[in-house]
Structure 1
Amino acid sequence: MKAKLINITKIEDSRGNLAVIEKDSIPFKIKRVYYLYDVPSNAYRGGHANKKQESLLIALSGSFEVVMDDGTERIRIMLNKPNVGLYIPTGIWREMENFSSGSVCLVLASTNYDEQEYIRDYNLFKLSKQP
């Protein structure tokens, strides 16, 4: 699977830490930024794959799990540090679940929103991965 964890530069200070994301920190140019918050612990988000969009997910506060599927492999990753992001390339099915109380998920995206580039049906996603 081509998804990977990316360490975000952290500057430690007795007054509080600072995390920095600059143009060379991630493998794409940021076109959109959004965040999820107040997600109930029993809810899940995502449930789609993108044809064009690359994403970086960061747990700014709290924690949540990301389940990813590339058509052959399914993995689960816990995000719980604001200086570690999860890079998700195109063509990966993702679901986010088990949100802790007060969690905030920041998403940096390589594209502007376009509903046409989402695959929201898992069976169609699986079919798109067949040779």
Structure 2
Amino acid sequence: MSTNADVKLIEIPKIQDRRGNLSVIEETTIPFKSNRVYYLYDIPSGSRRGGHAHKIQQEFLIALSGSFDVVLKDGKSTQIVTLNKPNAGLLIVDGIWRELRNFSSGAVCLVLASGEFDEDDYIREYKNFRLFKNR
């Protein structure tokens, strides 16, 4: 079973020049092929997102603009990671509960997912997550 130690902050290659920065995510940047991309934006002050875990899917979260906190729970420990750079992303492996909160004004969260949407892959109740981790 995965733990918070399996979650990784990954630096995304950045190309700098006088016209601005460019970051590229290619096959070797993250350990999975991205099959779905979505993004969160216009998040009202005080709102929370996430509040679930995936049974098999992995995700890579990037703060394209602004900042937010990612609360990670593996059933035994809790870890908080602040994302605030567009050239760094958080790899969340399967079996980790995640909650996103403390969004700054104008925050944009880009998510690359290893799988297409599959409701059966979601664990949406924390008590069910605990049962999943203790099986």
TM-score, length-normalised on structure 2?
A: 0.95
Aligned partner of 2:75 in structure 1 is 71
Quote the Cα distance in structure 2 between the aligned partners of 1:24 and 1:53.
18
Secondary structure of the structure 1 residue equivalent to 2:20 = coil
Native 8 Å contact 1:41 1:97 kept in 2 = no
Q: 1:20 pairs with 21, 24, 44, which one?
A: 24
What is the number of equivalent residue pairs in this alignment? 131
Aligned partner of 2:61 in structure 1 is 57
Structure 1 residue ranges, 4+ long, deviating more than 2 angstroms after superposition: none
Q: 1:100 pairs with 99, 104, 124, which one?
A: 104
Native 8 Å contact 1:37 1:104 kept in 2 = yes
Q: Which runs of 5+ in 2 are unaligned?
A: none
- 1:77-101, CA deviations, whole angstroms, 9 ceiling, x for partnerless residues? 0000000000000000000000000
Quote the Cα distance in structure 1 between the aligned partners of 2:80 and 2:45.
17
Name the aligned partner's letter for residue 75 of structure 1. Q
Q: Which runs of 5+ in 1 are unaligned?
A: none
- 1:19-52, CA deviations, whole angstroms, 9 ceiling, x for partnerless residues? 0100010010100000000011200000000011
Identity in percent: 61
- 1:40-68, CA deviations, whole angstroms, 9 ceiling, x for partnerless residues? 12000000000111000000000000000
Quote the Cα distance in structure 2 between the aligned partners of 1:41 and 1:67.
17
Secondary structure of the structure 1 residue equivalent to 2:17 = coil
Secondary structure of the structure 2 residue equivalent to 1:12 = strand
Aligned partner of 1:31 in structure 2 is 35
- 1:81-129, CA deviations, whole angstroms, 9 ceiling, x for partnerless residues? 0000000000000000000000000000000001111000000101111
TM-score, length-normalised on structure 1?
A: 0.98
1:36-47 mapped onto 2 (5 Å cutoff): 36-47=40-51
Native 8 Å contact 1:6 1:85 kept in 2 = yes
